[in-house]
């Protein structure tokens, strides 16, 4: 679905003009389309058809309560990585039997919190974590369902910071140690083996690494079965890439799901997926306004009111987001420019070397910002976090109010005099 549309000379998300949103809620502001969110979930759902499956939205991509509740109402489950995310999904009304807990560093209190909530499964990443889960579950008088997260040693060919399935990464249990750890899990009193888990990275733009990882994991499932350890599901994690540039061609949701289901053969295994970016990434944009045009002898800067604290992806991963000027200036007025924020760092850019026709006060849309935008935002430079708005048809709903400055230091105190 195309998020930003131009109709009768106006730029809009669904049927609400971005000009109206900027007037009403101010900038910077994240704007999401409810229809695009529903569409992404529905495509996953339809692609699995009647294959046994579970879609577990990866909360870290965008953890706004309204988005969680929307996915929950559609039937989605959730992949969480912290006690904070657990509290969020429960606050959004999630059924604990549709929650799995991933992550390499689950603390005792997080595990206890998840046991008390009776979540569906822990994706365990190491032997000491397995022992800890078993011990805490025994203390609580329950058995915890577990999957071991296997590191299949597959190159996801993505940015090194978001690649997780190589031997040298901190994630998962090395493939060759997995069988031994499953045997151990099978003996532990506090756990019940439910599945196998893997996740090889994020923003993958070809299906081949998913297929390679899946095949390795299926082989492990077969080996376990021959030892009498039957598993019920394979969780393949998330990672499906989205189109940031027009020329990007990641597999579609349908192709991705087919690459999985077609490899199962006769095996009666449920497939779990943990999509984050592909559920929300192209359903949201960051709306920002030009503060100044500033020309130096070297370059032309467009200083906007959004910064790296609002959207850190360009600074952190050198990520490219399409930037659209929401005006009707003549193309002849377009200049090569650097779109930068007000934060005091040269790494504070939204886009470099863009050709845009802009003047002060113009609005700009930064596209594909629905995933890892707001959820990675900070208060750096004591900047209040942006507002978030979901458009549903011709209505715009504020789903997170802009932070106030007083909130930023409300928890701080002075030393005694």
Query: Which segment (15-23, 196-204, 290-298, 392-400) binds ligand LLP by CB under 6 A?
Result: 196-204
Residue (27 or 203) nearer to ligand LLP, CB: 203
Task: Return the residues of window 80-109 that contact ligand LLP according to CB under 6 A.
Answer: 102
Query: Which segment (249-257, 276-284, 386-394, 397-405) binds ligand LLP by CB under 6 A?
Result: 276-284
Measured CA to CA, the distance from residue 51 to residue 57 in angstroms comes to 18
Exposed/middle/buried for residue 271 (C-beta within 10 Å: 0-12, 13-18, 19+)? buried
Residues 150/217, Cβ–Cβ less than 8 Å: yes
Establish if 162 lies at the interface with ligand LLP (CB under 6 A): yes
Find the Cα–Cα–Cα–Cα dihedral 41, 365, 385, 309, rounded to 10°. 100
Query: Which segment (275-283, 331-339, 351-359, 397-405) binds ligand LLP by CB under 6 A?
Result: 275-283
- Cα 132 from chain centre: 27
Q: Establish whether 344 is a catalytic residue.
A: yes
Q: Which of 33, 63, 203, 309 binds ligand LLP (CB under 6 A)?
A: 203
Establish if 321 lies at the interface with ligand LLP (CB under 6 A): no
Here the tokens at position 311 are: 């959207």
CB of 316 to ligand LLP, least distance (A): 7
Closest C-alpha to 31, from 41, 42, 17: 17
Residue (161 or 409) nearer to ligand LLP, CB: 161
Residues 236/201, Cβ–Cβ less than 8 Å: no
Establish if 72 lies at the interface with ligand LLP (CB under 6 A): no
Here the tokens at position 359 are: 């003047």
Establish if 79 lies at the interface with ligand LLP (CB under 6 A): yes
CB of 327 to ligand LLP, least distance (A): 28
97: Cβ contacts below 8 Å, ≥ 6 apart? 118, 119, 120
DSSP state of 376: G
CB of 313 to ligand LLP, least distance (A): 5
Establish if 239 lies at the interface with ligand LLP (CB under 6 A): yes
Q: What angle do CA 138, 141, 144 make, to 5 degrees?
A: 65
CB of 242 to ligand LLP, least distance (A): 9
Identify any residues that bridge with 193 across adjacent strands, giving them in sequence order. 146
Q: Which of 58, 156, 283, 389 binds ligand LLP (CB under 6 A)?
A: 58
The residues annotated with a catalytic role in the active site are 344
Residues engaged in binding ligand LLP (CB under 6 A): 58, 61, 79, 102, 162, 199, 202-203, 237-240, 274-278, 313, 317, 371-372, 376
């Amino acid at each position: 679905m195309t998020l930003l549309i131009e109709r009768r000379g106006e730029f809009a998300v669904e049927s609400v003009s971005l000009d109206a949103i900027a007037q009403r809620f101010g900038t910077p502001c994240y704007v999401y389309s409810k229809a695009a969110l529903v569409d992404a979930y529905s495509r996953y759902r339809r692609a699995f058809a009647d294959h046994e499956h579970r879609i577990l939205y990866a909360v870290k991509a965008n953890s706004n309560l309204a988005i969680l509740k929307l996915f929950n109402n559609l039937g989605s489950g959730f992949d969480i990585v912290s006690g904070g995310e657990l509290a969020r999904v429960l606050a959004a009304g999630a059924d604990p039997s549709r929650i799995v807990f991933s992550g390499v560093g689950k603390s005792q209190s997080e595990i206890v919190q998840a046991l008390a909530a009776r979540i569906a499964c822990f994706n365990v990443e190491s032997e000491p974590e397995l022992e800890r889960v078993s011990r805490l579950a025994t203390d609580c008088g329950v058995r915890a369902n577990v999957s071991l997260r296997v590191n299949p040693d597959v190159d996801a060919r993505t940015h090194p910071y978001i690649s997780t399935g190589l031997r040298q990464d901190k994630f998962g249990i090395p493939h060759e140690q997995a069988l031994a750890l499953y045997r151990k899990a099978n003996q532990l009193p506090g756990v019940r083996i439910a599945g196998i888990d893997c996740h090889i990275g994020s923003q993958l733009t070809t299906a081949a690494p998913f297929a390679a990882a899946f095949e390795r994991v299926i082989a492990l499932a077969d080996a376990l079965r021959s030892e009498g350890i039957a598993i019920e599901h394979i969780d393949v994690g998330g990672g499906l890439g989205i189109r940031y540039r027009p020329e990007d061609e990641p597999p579609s949701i349908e192709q991705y799901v087919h690459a999985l289901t077609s490899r199962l053969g006769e095996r009666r295994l449920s497939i779990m997926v943990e999509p984050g970016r592909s559920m929300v990434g192209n359903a949201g944009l960051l709306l920002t306004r030009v503060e100044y045009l500033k020309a130096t002898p070297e370059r032309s800067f467009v200083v906007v009111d959004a910064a790296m604290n609002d959207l850190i992806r360009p600074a952190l991963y050198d990520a490219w987001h399409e930037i659209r000027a929401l005006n009707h200036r003549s193309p002849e007025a377009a200049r090569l420019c650097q779109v930068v924020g007000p934060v005091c760092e040269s790494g504070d850019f939204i886009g470099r070397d863009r050709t845009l026709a802009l003047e002060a006060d113009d609005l700009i849309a930064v596209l594909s910002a629905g995933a890892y935008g707001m959820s990675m935002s900070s208060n750096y430079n004591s900047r209040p976090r942006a507002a978030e708005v979901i458009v549903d048809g011709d209505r715009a709903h504020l789903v997170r109010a802009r932070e106030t400055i007083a909130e930023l230091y409300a928890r701080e105190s002075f030393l005694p005099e």
